[in-house]
Amino acid sequence: MINERELMFYLHREYEKLRKIFVDIKFLDKKIEEFVLSYYKDFLYFYDKKDYVKAFELENYIWGMLDILINLKLIEVKEEYKKWFKIFYID
């Protein structure tokens, strides 16, 4: 079971990773971009409001979406950030 301290550690760590990714991410489909950005904006909203449970949930959704999108080659990220993804490349 995760305690509050662990939750905050993981939440902040992933916040920093997502912040870096979303500065440079390249979406190859406009509708997907709008969809994912809406989740990211919601994540930032709840994080700023200190509603950390909702922020943590959204953060996990976002990572799942990004993993799928990078494997489907619908997004591009800096090479240095690829270590944060589960890349299998579906052909």
pLDDT tens-digit series, residues 3-52: 889 989 999 999 999 999 999 999 999 999 999 999 999 999 999 999 99
Q: How confident is the model at residue 91 (pLDDT cuts 50, 70, 90)?
A: low
CATH code, domain with 69 = 1.20.1270.90
11 within some domain: yes
- Domain containing 34 equals 4-84
Reported as a single tens digit per residue, the pLDDT across 67-86 is 999 999 999 999 999 999 99
As for how many domains the chain has, the answer is 1
64 within some domain: yes
Q: What is the pTM of this model?
A: 0.89
CB atoms within 10 A of CB 81: 15
The distance of Cα 85 from the centroid of its chain, to the nearest Å, equals 10
The whole-angstrom separation of Cα 52 and Cα 68 is 24
